[in-house]
């Protein structure tokens, strides 16, 4: 009887401690990077894994179409620092009079550091470094066949219910052997503005540009979207991206989500009630 009573007490104490620890953990709150080309300066919540996934159908020039499934996994390793794994996922390219091509896109590894808060006109500032690995098939036209490295500076600020992201990027774009090999320089910039509506709804717009190179024409495009956030750890989005130059797509339609997968690490806690014995 005594052992049974002690077991019940132990289970009750364990459940109470578990509930207390859970109550002490802040709720998971996602920080969406999608669907814009721009990235916010703030990073993923510490110790949290966050997944972004979407589907996109692009209508290019000369009746060519391209399907992709952009995917991004973010890990909040420390406060203001995250690791990133990204890819355009599964690709399907089709054009009249030619065989279609399907396969997986290149993938990239990156890191982002938000090094300043509420500075430079009240904005948050961050650096991001990303390296793209040439894993997609160049023969099928799914990739360039060369690796790239991108360094970016992010500026973000809230203006009441509005949020602004400004990004400047520079890519050392790898050139395939058919183009002489080596690298070429590709600048890019974007400004994105979002507006929080009453309740879980928001909408936003973006204007971005990517410099032309031997591999691509100059891209200028504008993107518009709506988002719905049913909980702090889930955001759904959908919209359209309309090209403004010949180097851009005619238009793309997309939909996706940002979801907080959970905590991959629990920070150690000190018991504030513990009292060390006096010497």
Residue 129 lies in a domain: yes
Residue 73 lies in a domain: yes
Measured CA to CA, the distance from residue 223 to residue 69 in angstroms comes to: 17
Q: What's 67's domain CATH number?
A: 2.40.160.40
The tens digit of pLDDT for each residue in 2-48 reads 444 334 334 444 443 344 444 467 899 999 999 999 999 999 999 99
Residue 15 lies in a domain: no
Residue 169 lies in a domain: yes
The residue segments making up the domain with residue 222 are 30-263
What pLDDT, on a 0 to 100 scale, did the predictor assign at position 8? 39
Please provide residue 174's backbone torsions phi and psi, each rounded to the nearest 5 degrees.
-70, 135
Residue 273 lies in a domain: no
Residue 226 lies in a domain: yes
State the total domains in the chain. 1
Residue 248 lies in a domain: yes
CB 141 within 8 A of CB 66: no
Residue 63 lies in a domain: yes
The tens digit of pLDDT for each residue in 110-122 reads 999 999 999 978 9
**E strand spans, the chain:** 48-59, 65-68, 71-78, 81-87, 90-94, 101-104, 107-119, 123-133, 148-159, 162-174, 183-196, 201-210, 219-231, 234-243, 251-263
The pTM of the full predicted model, rounded to 2 decimals, is: 0.86
pLDDT in tens, the chain (279 residues): 444 433 433 444 444 334 444 446 789 999 999 999 999 999 999 999 999 999 999 999 988 999 999 999 999 999 999 999 999 999 999 988 888 999 999 999 999 999 999 997 899 999 999 999 999 999 999 999 999 999 999 999 999 999 999 999 999 999 988 777 889 999 999 999 999 998 999 999 999 999 999 888 999 999 999 999 999 999 999 999 999 999 999 999 999 999 999 999 886 554 444 444 444
Which of 229, 237, 232, 271 shows the shortest CA–CA distance to 253? 237
């Amino acid at each position: 009887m005594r052992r049974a009573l002690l077991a019940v007490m132990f289970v009750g104490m364990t459940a109470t401690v578990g509930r207390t620890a859970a109550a002490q953990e802040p709720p998971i709150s996602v920080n969406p990077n999608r669907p814009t080309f721009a990235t916010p300066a703030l990073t993923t919540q510490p110790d949290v894994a966050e997944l972004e996934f979407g589907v996109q159908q692009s209508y290019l020039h000369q009746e060519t179409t391209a399907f992709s499934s952009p995917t991004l996994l973010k890990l909040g390793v420390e406060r203001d620092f995250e690791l990133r794994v990204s890819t355009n996922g599964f690709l399907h390219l089709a054009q009249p009079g030619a065989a279609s091509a399907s396969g997986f896109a290149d993938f990239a590894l990156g890191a982002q550091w938000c090094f300043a808060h509420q500075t430079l006109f009240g904005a948050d500032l961050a650096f991001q470094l990303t390296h793209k690995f040439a894993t997609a098939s160049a023969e099928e036209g799914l990739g360039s066949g060369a690796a790239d490295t991108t360094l970016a500076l992010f500026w973000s600020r809230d203006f009441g219910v509005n949020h602004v992201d400004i990004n400047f990027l520079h890519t050392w774009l790898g050139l395939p052997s058919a183009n002489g090999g080596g690298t070429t320089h590709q600048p890019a910039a974007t400004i994105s503005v979002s507006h929080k509506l009453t309740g879980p709804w928001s909408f936003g717009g973006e204007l971005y540009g990517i410099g032309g190179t031997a591999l691509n024409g100059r891209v200028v495009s504008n993107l518009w979207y709506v988002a719905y956030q049913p909980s702090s750890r889930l955001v759904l989005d959908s919209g359209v991206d309309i090209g403004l130059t010949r180097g851009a797509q005619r238009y793309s339609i997309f939909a996706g989500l940002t979801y907080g997968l959970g905590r991959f690490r629990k920070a150690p806690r000190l018991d504030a009630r513990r009292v060390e014995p006096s010497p």
